[in-house]
């Protein structure tokens, strides 16, 4: 009864841990991922475009099954989890065997093993000991370190190389799981956002991808930012001079460019973009009194800032429109790019309480420039620029990069490191005469290994011949006297 209870579980386990299951799961992942590239995906595509591409019914179905956000759908995550589990199961199922193979080298081949091994050769010999020693020399010549194995009163040889190769496949799969783990950690605990700063501005708030706002435990301040262009006008370099302020003191400073972020406490700030805010930074005017008797003054104005012109008069920049247009007796803003700028100044007198609306340029119907006690001329216009920073926190990325390096190592071991084993055993051949049995095994690249084996056999035969020749010479000299 217990047997029957175990068998279905055992069967299920075997199916789940089989390579076939793994490959089928891979195929499903491939099909689903490909689908995600063919079907428009929601966060990236604008809603209007989605509605244009698919009819309402189709869109309803796609949304319901989450095919419009495949890679974050719960069933896709489940699929990836299943893939990971199948890798784990397959490794667990096969690891004990491989470990036994790896940790306990098979040094003394039995007769049945010797008969079954494909790559083998028997060399007739005269004397057991000298033959084995000759074989040892041949192996050493080929770069191996043979060890003497004593069993059943006989001495045999065992030499191997790159035993780690048997573990290589587990290294590859473990590294893959490590990469997945890093990805999961980042999906759960990582975040990405954006913050735009104008020079001098600081913030500890980041607008996240999903719409929420995150408060950082420190403040990032932009000291300055800029853009360098090539001679043809295309952007060459965006840079920002950033400072991190924590608990009132400046803890880090860096000038960042694209590809070179600032990293602080696991949060990374990337130079993402640079552009005009569409808002005025500074307007520099020369103010000349209407009487013309006093010299012109230079006045620098920011929006809504009042600057004194003399003891009585002050001027305030009430409005700045980068691109104005007059329609139906109203002044409108056409765009945020500086095409047709207009500035609305209010000149006020403290004493009389009067104020005058000065427009540069003098827009008819609105400007009271002629009545203003001061004339103004624009000297310089500075628009504001912002620097766009991508902010991200990816705690899992170290697992990912470690996994990648480990996988590179694992793949190199899997494909290029061959576990080679040689055995040399003195035996009695079919006719009862003394022979040296030489056998070899390799876990990949059979054809190249066959050549190596032939070389080894030739080397052993050569060593045995020179050994017996030496014996003969010794014998002769000893006989000769």
Partner 1 sequence: MASVRAEHQQPTGTGATLVVMVGLSVAFLLFMAFLNVVKSGNLLNESNLLYAALIFYCGAGALYLGFGVTGTESYVRFASLATWIGLLANTGAIVHRWYVAGHPPFASIYEMLLSFVWTLAVLTLIAEKRFGVKVIGTVTMPVAIVGVVLMQLLPSEVRPLVPALQSTWLHVHVTLAMLAYAACALSFALAMMFLIQDQVKTETFLAGTSFSVVVSYAAIVLTRFDRGGLSVVAWDPQQRGEVFVARGVRLFVVIPDLGWLLLLVLFAVAAPFALYLYGRWRNDDRVLVSANRAVFVSILLQILALAAFFVRARDGRYSSLDAEGLFPTSLAASPFILSGLVGAIFISLMYLMLLWRRQDLEKLLPDAPTLDRITYNTIAIAFPLLTLMIAAGAYWANRTWGSYWNWDPKETWAAITWLVYAGYLHMRITRGWRGRRAAYFAILGFAVVMFTFFGVTYLLPGLHAYA
CB nearer to partner 1: pick between 77 and 472:
77
Is residue 138 within 8 Å of 123, Cβ to Cβ? no
- The reply to whether 257 sits near partner 1 by the rule CB under 8 A is yes
- Do residues 172 and 414 lie in contact, with contact meaning Cβ atoms separated by under 8 Å? yes
Hunting for tokens 């790159």 — which residue is that? 162
**Among 14-22, 136-144, 326-334, 429-437, the segment contacting partner 1 (CB under 8 A):** 14-22
Q: Residue from 226, 235, 275, 361 that binds partner 1 (CB under 8 A)?
A: 235
Binding partner 1 (rule: CB under 8 A), the pick from 21, 84, 91, 397 is 397
- What's the min distance (Å) between Cβ of 156 and partner 1? 30
- Please tell me whether residue 426 binds partner 1 under the rule CB under 8 A: no
Does residue 400 belong to the site contacting partner 1 (CB under 8 A)? yes
Candidates 317, 319, 320; CA nearest to 307 is: 317
d(CA 341, CA 321): 6
CA 297/CA 126 separation, integer angstroms: 117
CB 287: neighbour CB atoms within 10 A? Answer: 23
Chain Cα centroid distance, residue 377: 55
Applying the rule CB under 8 A, the residues between 165 and 184 that interact with partner 1 are: 183
Residue 336 in tokens: 């945020």
Three-state SS for 432? coil
* Distance between CA atoms of residues 242 and 263, nearest Å: 11
Computed on alpha carbons and rounded to an integer, the radius of gyration of the chain in Å comes to 41
Among all chains, which residue has been given the structure tokens 């043809």? 232
Minimum CB distance to partner 1, residue 403 (Å): 9
* 402 contributes a contact to partner 1 by CB under 8 A: no
Number of residues that bind partner 1 (CB under 8 A): 52
Judged by CB under 8 A, does residue 261 bind partner 1? yes
Of 25-33, 102-110, 425-433, 452-460, the window that binds partner 1 (rule: CB under 8 A) is: 25-33
Of 194 and 366, nearer to partner 1 (C-beta) is 194
Nearer to partner 1, 33 or 151 (CB): 33
* Closest distance of CB 233 from partner 1, Å: 10
CA distance 148 to 424: 10
Tell me, what DSSP letter sits at residue 303?
A: B
Q: Which parts of this chain interact with partner 1 (CB under 8 A)?
A: 19-20, 22-23, 26-27, 29-30, 33-34, 36-38, 40-41, 49, 52-53, 70-71, 183, 192, 230, 232, 234-238, 257-261, 268, 270-272, 390-392, 394, 397, 400-401, 404, 407-408, 411-412, 415, 447
């Amino acid at each position: 009864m217990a047997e029957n209870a175990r068998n279905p579980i055992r069967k299920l386990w075997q199916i789940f841990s089989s390579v076939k299951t793994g490959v089928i799961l891979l195929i499903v992942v491939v099909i689903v991922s490909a689908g995600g590239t063919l079907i428009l995906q929601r966060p990236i595509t604008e809603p209007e475009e989605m509605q244009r591409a698919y009819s309402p019914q189709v869109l309803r179905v796609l949304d319901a099954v989450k095919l419009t956000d495949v890679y974050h759908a719960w069933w896709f995550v489940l699929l990836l989890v299943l893939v990971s589990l199948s890798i784990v199961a397959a490794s667990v199922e096969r690891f004990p065997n491989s470990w036994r193979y790896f940790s306990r080298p098979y040094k003394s081949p039995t007769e049945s093993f010797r008969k079954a091994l494909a790559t083998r050769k028997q060399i007739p010999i005269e004397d057991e000991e000298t033959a084995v020693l000759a074989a040892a020399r041949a192996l050493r010549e080929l770069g191996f370190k043979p060890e003497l194995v004593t069993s059943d009163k006989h001495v045999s040889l065992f030499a191997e190389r790159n035993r780690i190769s048997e573990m290589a496949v587990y290294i590859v799969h473990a590294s893959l799981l490590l990469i997945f783990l890093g990805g999961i950690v980042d999906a759960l605990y990582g975040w990405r956002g954006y913050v735009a700063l104008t020079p001098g501005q600081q913030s500890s708030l980041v607008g996240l991808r999903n719409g929420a706002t995150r408060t950082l435990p420190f403040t990032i301040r932009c000291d300055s930012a800029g853009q360098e262009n090539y001679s043809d006008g295309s952007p060459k370099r965006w840079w920002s001079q950033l400072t991190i302020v924590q608990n009132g003191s400046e803890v880090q400073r860096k000038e960042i460019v694209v590809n070179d972020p600032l990293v602080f406490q696991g949060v990374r700030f990337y130079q993402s973009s640079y552009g005009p805010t569409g808002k005025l930074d500074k307007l520099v005017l020369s103010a000349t009194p209407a009487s013309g008797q006093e010299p012109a003054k230079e006045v620098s104005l920011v929006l809504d800032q009042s600057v004194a012109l003399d003891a009585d008069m002050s001027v305030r920049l009430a409005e700045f429109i980068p691109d104005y247009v007059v329609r139906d007796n109203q002044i409108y803003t056409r765009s945020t790019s500086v095409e047709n700028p207009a500035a609305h100044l209010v000149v006020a007198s403290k004493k009389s309480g009067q104020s005058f609306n000065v427009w540069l340029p003098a827009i008819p119907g609105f400007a009271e420039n002629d009545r203003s006690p001061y004339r103004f001329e624009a000297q310089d216009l500075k628009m504001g620029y912002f620097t766009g920073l991508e902010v991200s926190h990816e705690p899992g990325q170290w697992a990912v990069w470690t996994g990648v390096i480990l996988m590179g190592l694992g793949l190199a071991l899997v494909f290029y490191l061959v576990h080679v084993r040689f055995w040399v055993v003195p035996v009695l051949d079919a006719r009862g005469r003394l022979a040296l049995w030489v056998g070899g095994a390799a876990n990949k690249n059979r054809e190249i290994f066959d050549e190596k084996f032939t070389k080894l056999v030739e080397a052993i035969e050569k060593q045995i011949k020179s050994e017996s020749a030496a014996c003969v010479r010794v014998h002769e000299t000893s006989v000769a006297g």
